[in-house]
Structure 1
């Protein structure tokens, strides 16, 4: 008889639920996809319902529920921190700690109440257990990965105490090696600079990473001399004179602004050379820290392979530097590396570590190319489209790939909704917006007219796995879009003398390769390789595009607009399609042309539904 465990994460950022059957990942999904609230921190009731439905079980069939951190230990850290900062932390102590004492620390009781409310008071509710935050991250990194043993590195803002932790994974166990504790945190250093550059903490870090290639790291030494003491072995210490996040209501102190020549950039205001250079500088510091930590871990553990998780593991530029440096033979990154992945990690830690079950290895990782979310049949899709009075045609399975490839080759932007939804922050060919990477204007069109976001942000290429090395400096699979590597020199275009004088956003005007829509200004790209098994229909589309154009690459970005979660239902997809300047929508076997659709009648401005981030 099969045994099931559930993992949940909620309360701070990106709530999620996951269900595991006999050690196999059955389903995992973020709550935001259902509520349409970006990074929803609330209890993941909708996600839980989906996971149980996908597994075909009820709560009565679940052996245990595992929560992704220990709130008792977290409260201990919060109280200790306030006392350590003395009078500077008194105001925040009076404000925050009573709320913890009366509610936040009693997570087991909260979970029981939410389940009784959501499933009925008579529901058979399993026992709830706490898993330490970095154990959840380490479990999400190691147990679904492809290695029988590996070094495991977790880097994020903070859990209970740990901000950076090193482990060794062997079979069904994880052994801690060392940790760095709050308030010293690479994740919070990067978030502080994100805040100072005018972006939103916990979502704007992607923007800072994308901004970095436009600048020069002129503040690199300033950061190392003042903000962080980075040791040769990768250990570090932050100078809290410049940071207020430990006990205050702001990421930084006035001294931070003084150090960098003035106040933080106001959100939505013009980005100046200072922000470009600050982004480049802190990105270089992060990369150097990760390289030093990686080298130390290789020496300490003797392990040849590395697994990564934690929010900082989503910095795919730093991952690319680690990969390029060959510190480890192979690197595997959990695709849902942030708090959402903590739900999955908690379930796997519960199954393997607490319950002692053996771990089974396959020929690849166990994340199923992260297609762990909801799906809809053609019958369900047609009912939704008809309800919207949409005009569509239905194509056969055989005809669809070549038809859509032709639309893309003609320069159209296509919304693509197929199969099970992705788990984690990346769209990987199930809930994607696609375009022709050879099109010079595609990046600006997709950013400004469709995604409604800043023009500087790069797009990622999806490439047929067997052709990846021809186009990118990448000699291993990268199915989760988690490594930034260079475009091969054979596909680059020479930069003229006048173009070499361009700076900042002007660099966008320079065509740098034969696939300019996915080539960043430093000739890099965040690559997704598409193999032959995980996502057959997306694979068929890429093959058809390659056959028609001799290019095995497509622009692949998430199916959403700025401030909105990735679409979950066919109705979400249709509304996003109609609200933007996408040319075509492909949902299941149905193809919709924008010019044929009736006008969308909505009350008010849809943009006000989503808080921009």
Structure 2
């Protein structure tokens, strides 16, 4: 171990499928974590997270030489076994990049050759990484653990028990039987991208009725003991785009929708049906977790745990007193879990016992760095509020109350898929036009997808049916506010709430409080700071690019406020370009102009 650190420095890595990420533990404390996509600007970039590693180590004041152990989030040998079983018949036609994935030595080789690390490497099974990312960061001294995703090596669902320092997996369901793959198959049938469009299906579901539920139930058989099996006649997992066999359309009585084509009522009804069946099945899986462990606490992770509607049903209807969901529940969060397991193996102790209170653990940039970036563009009359936070917040509230959409960049970036006040677009939730405006002109995405509210924790119960903290936007609840909140209220009167405290959320909390003092509304619309098809912004340069290329009215960049009318005309020339369906295209060379 490194003698200069308070304990082992462990670097957790997830990579080579989608959404690569890293996490750094120092003496069991989580000090930084980040997604590679935020630096490469490639959505869900699966490549070894070289840039994320360097930035997280920089944030922690460390270098690669300080790392005592690297932990990788799955077993590449076991995974290759399953990949060959699945894909061997298609190998002659496979793309070269697909063949690269059939290489069990690739993680170890790239960690050595691309990252430059040749020290101890711990391999942690995929679902153990998921389980550890939930249990070891929950703050619970004991709990049941449920992980559900598409597939790891072979497991697709596991049940486990955490007790003190120990975490054990007790039972599992193996590929090809997968609740995540069932949901993704219907996602593909609805014309959305697999591994990306599942959020869209969840957002579309409230517009429909579960007319197809009985037919969807024929796709999955759930046993009395809580295990389940898919009817494989309806699936083709060698087809990564749709994963559906031809019989699926016959069973549903609905042909697959062409991507980007019109969405009809039948599509809404199918979305509602798969959502309902998923909720029912997850409730059954959660009940089995209780029977296996007798615990009244539950920890959840895996991509399916990001289904916020299903999580709400488990919270309300499940057999548990407390539920903790890892905010980075997907594969990116596997880097946290792998690091936690490696720390346990090295020291005999679990990581730090406190609950994960914030996901704002990515790299940030100082006010001085932001000032240098803006100075490179010359004196453009931007508003400088350095050392005057009260005046800054007053100026931002002025703009929010006037109906402006604000790009908000402050502090460290978020880890996980949600914007939580570090890299956010903010607006007044009371304005009925704001949802459609941001969807059409800023996010450039489907109009049916809802936006989330961020609310002062002490006033959350006055506006939402919510009796506990919700700092990570991981469950929905009913909107009960006496205020009309059309911009953040979904068609079924639900919202995915983020509760704010000054201790955790700092300046963002103080902004919402100032907005409340001005307007009587302790809530802001909060959505991720990005354009469609792009990752959330990471650097000040990313924020400037997104601001100029979108219809955002104002950018708050740390202590600086930039109004759209103050954008230098030259910037509009530099950033001009075509705007395809996936979002604007701008050459990387523009970064040199900022």
| TM-score normalised by the chain length of structure 2 | 0.93
**1:412-437 CA distance string (max 9 Å, x none):** 11000000000111000010000011
- Distance change in 2, residues 1:184/1:594 (3 Å): same
Alignment check: 8 A CA contact 2:59 2:364 kept: no
1:38 and 1:361 mapped to 2: Cα distance? Answer: 33
1:205 aligns with 2:205: no
2:13 and 2:335 in contact (8 A); partners too: yes
Conserved? CA contact 2:29–2:351, under 8 Å: no
1:387 aligns with 2:386: no
Is 2:477 aligned against 1:485?
Answer: yes
Residues 405 and 427 in structure 2, CA contact (< 8 A), matched pair in contact too: yes
**In 1, Cα distance between the equivalents of 2:474 and 2:240?**
33
* SS of residue paired to 2:121: strand
**SS, match of residue 601 in structure 1:** helix
- How many angstroms does 1:95 deviate by? 4.5
Mapped to 2, the partners of 1:319 and 1:193 lie a distance apart of: 20
Structure 1 counterpart of 2:30: 25
Q: Specify the alignment match of 1:520 in structure 2.
A: 490
Q: Give the aligned partner of residue 592 of structure 2.
A: none
Q: Which deviates more from structure 2 when the two are superposed, residues 378-387 or residues 536-545? A: 378-387
How big is the alpha-carbon RMSD for the aligned residues of Structure 1 and Structure 2? 2.0
Taking a change above 3 Å as real, the CA distance of residues 305 and 525 of structure 1, as seen in their structure-2 partners, is: same
> 2:587 maps to which residue?
none
Report if aligned partners of 2:12, 2:71 keep a CA contact under 8 Å in 1. Answer: yes
**1:547-598 CA deviation, whole Å, 9 max, x = no partner?**
1111111000000010011001111111111111111110111011112222
Partners of 1:21 and 1:51 in 2: how far apart?
12
How many residues in Structure 1 have an aligned counterpart in Structure 2?
Answer: 573
1:4 matched to 2:9? The reply is yes
**Which of 43, 46, 50 is matched with 2:51 structurally?**
46
Q: How does 1:4-403 map to 2 (within 5 A)?
A: 4-81=9-86, 90-92=89-91, 95=94, 99=99, 103-116=103-116, 125-225=118-218, 227-246=219-238, 250-353=242-345, 355-362=347-354, 365-366=355-356, 368-389=357-378, 390-395=380-385, 396-403=388-395
User: C-alpha separation between the residues in 2 aligned to 1:204 and 1:250?
Assistant: 12
SS of structure 2 residue aligned to 1:591: strand
**Kept in 1: contact 2:68–2:119 (CA 8 A):** yes
Tell me, in whole angstroms, the C-alpha distance in 2 between the residues paired with 1:234 and 1:209. 23
Note if contact 2:406-2:553 (Cα within 8 Å) is conserved in structure 1: yes
Give the gaps of 5 or more residues in structure 2. 585-594
- In the superposition, the TM-score normalised over structure 1's length comes to 0.90
1:611 positional shift = 7.0
Question: CA contact under 8 A between 2:531 and 2:583: conserved in structure 1?
Answer: no
When residues 286 and 6 of structure 1 are mapped into structure 2, their CA distance, relative to the original with a 3 A threshold, is: same
Paired with 1:587 and 1:96, the residues of 2 have a C-alpha distance of 42
Aligned to 1:510: none
Aligned to 1:508: none
Q: Tell me if the contact between 1:436 and 1:554 (Cα under 8 Å) persists in the aligned partners.
A: yes
Contact 1:370 1:422 in 2 (8 A): yes
- Describe the SS at the equivalent of 1:103: coil
1:208-258 per-residue CA deviation (whole Å, 9 max, x = no partner) reads 000000000100011112x11123443211011111015777411111122
Cα deviation, residue 359, structure 1: 4.0
Deviations 1:421-458 (A, max 9, x none): 00111000010000011111111011001111111110
Q: Using the TM superposition, give the Cα deviation of residue 604 of structure 1 relative to its aligned residue in structure 2, in angstroms.
A: 5.8
Secondary structure at the counterpart of residue 541 of structure 2: helix
Instruction: Name the CA distance, whole Å, in 2 between partners of 1:475 and 1:515.
Output: 20
Structure 1 spans left out of the alignment, 5+ residues: 83-88, 117-123, 492-512
Maintained 8 Å contact 1:211/1:280: yes
Deviation at 1:105, TM superposition (A): 4.0
**Is 1:430 paired with 2:422?**
yes
- CA contact under 8 A between 1:75 and 1:105: conserved in structure 2? no
Q: How has the CA–CA distance of structure 1 residues 479 and 304 changed in structure 2, closer, same or farther, with 3 Å as cutoff? A: same
Whether 2:560 is the aligned partner of 1:607: answer no
In structure 2, do the counterparts of structure 1 residues 484 and 268 end up closer, same or farther at CA, with 3 Å as the change threshold?
same
Seen in structure 2, the aligned counterparts of structure 1 residues 354 and 609 have a Cα distance that, compared at 3 Å, is farther
2:314 is paired with a residue of what secondary structure? helix
Q: Give me the whole-angstrom Cα distance separating, in 1, the residues matched to 2:547 and 2:377.
A: 12
2:441 aligns with 449
